[in-house]
Amino acid sequence: MAVNGKGFFILQDDTGLSYYSRAGEFSFDRNGDLVNPDGLYVQGYEVTAVAPDGTMALGNISNINIPGESTTAASATTEFTVDVNLDAGAAAGDTYATTLSVFDSLGNAIPLSITFTRQAAVNTWVASVAVSATVAAPGDVAISNSTLSFTATGGLETGGSDSLIAINNLLTGAENLSLNWDIFDAAAGGVSNGDMTQYASASTTTFQTQNGNTSGVLRGVDVDEEGVVTGIYSNGSWFRFFRWRWPTSPTTAACRNWVKTCTRNRELPDRP
């Protein structure tokens, strides 16, 4: 790792003495601390929160530390989407089924089956849902807003509401699941988001998303060009831990005689 332009990495020794260095040869020690070859601890601002837009709230400067046994908790699915075309040529009573995996609060992957049944009414289908009897009893699985009405041009009628799926009394021991099937844009007056269509072609599923995950263990660490230290986990999630700060204090002029590391125990930099 290297600093482009003016600036320094901040390091500290065991006594708290601060060092400033341009050398970026770092590695994690057995305790998960990021250190240079001399055992000095690399300093960074702890990321205390991340807003939906990606803006980070930063805490105090401390040793950059990522324990090797770091894990992320399981997260239950609360929302999902499926991109499905239902065959416009289907006869009343015809069905099409698709399955996606959602996660409960313990991180168990639960196959959720959605079956679409063509109705006698023109351009109308009704969705039903089911899970394995080893997950929940049939009577504990329900769906609301299950009727899908399409226009003559293949899209959903405007003014609909998302379907809500409840899976209660899970036999896995997890909390009840409440799933929002994202189909319509409520802020735009119930306009379809375009995921569900009815065209004259075979019924098919082309894409699925859901926002849950099982628990994960740390598999790697990444540092981007902004100095954000991110942990990458086995479940596909990632977590921002620290952000480096490359201060221009002490000044380059004050450290012209350093070779690898310049020492100065004054004036830690302001937060970015």
DSSP per position, 90-111: PPTT-EEEEEEEEE-TT--EEE
What per-residue confidence (pLDDT) applies to 249?
53
CATH code, 93:
2.60.98.20
Residues 118, 188 share a domain: yes
Asked whether residue 262 carries a pLDDT value surpassing 50, the answer given is no
Average pLDDT across the chain, whole number: 87
Residues 132, 83 share a domain: yes
| Spatial separation of the C-alpha atoms in residues 176 and 260, rounded to whole Å | 57
Q: Determine how many CB atoms are found less than 10 A away from the CB of residue 210.
A: 18
User: What band does 148 get if pLDDT is binned at 50, 70 and 90?
Assistant: very high
What per-residue confidence (pLDDT) applies to 247?
61
Last residue of a domain, one of 166, 188, 210: 210
What per-residue confidence (pLDDT) applies to 54?
85
Q: Would residue 135 count as lying in a domain? A: yes
What per-residue confidence (pLDDT) applies to 255?
47
Residues 255, 183 share a domain: no
Give residue-wise pLDDT tens across range 149-208: 999 999 999 999 999 999 999 999 999 999 999 999 988 889 999 999 999 999 999 999
Asked whether residue 143 carries a pLDDT value surpassing 80, the answer given is yes
Sign of CA dihedral 76, 81, 82, 88: positive
Q: Would residue 25 count as lying in a domain? A: yes
What per-residue confidence (pLDDT) applies to 236?
83
Query: Per DSSP, which regions of 6-159 are E strands?
Result: 9-12, 18-21, 27-28, 34-35, 41-50, 56-63, 71-72, 79-85, 95-103, 109-118, 124-130, 141-144, 147-149
Residues 183, 86 share a domain: yes
| Spatial separation of the C-alpha atoms in residues 36 and 263, rounded to whole Å | 14
CB 192 within 8 A of CB 184: yes
Give residue-wise pLDDT tens across range 216-253: 988 888 888 788 999 898 888 888 899 976 665 554 44
Q: Which residues contact 49 (CB under 8 A, 6 or more apart)?
A: 56, 57
Residues 115, 60 share a domain: no
pTM of the model: 0.73
- Cis ω on the peptide bond leading into residue 138 (within 30° of 0)? no
CB 160 within 8 A of CB 183: yes
Q: What is the biggest distance separating any 2 CA atoms in the chain, rounded to whole angstroms?
A: 86
User: How many domains is the chain built from?
Assistant: 2
Q: Would residue 224 count as lying in a domain? A: yes
What per-residue confidence (pLDDT) applies to 141?
98
Mean pLDDT, range 31-44, rounded to an integer: 91
Q: Would residue 157 count as lying in a domain? A: yes
Which of these, 53, 100, 103, 50, lies nearest to 74 by C-alpha position? 103
| Spatial separation of the C-alpha atoms in residues 22 and 197, rounded to whole Å | 57
Residues 238, 180 share a domain: no
User: What band does 1 get if pLDDT is binned at 50, 70 and 90?
Assistant: low
Q: Would residue 4 count as lying in a domain? A: no
β-pair partners for 90:
none
Q: What proportion of the chain, given as a percentage, has pLDDT over 90?
A: 61
The single-letter DSSP state of residue 174 is P
User: What band does 76 get if pLDDT is binned at 50, 70 and 90?
Assistant: very high
Q: Would residue 159 count as lying in a domain? A: yes
Structural domain boundaries, residue 246: 9-71+216-263
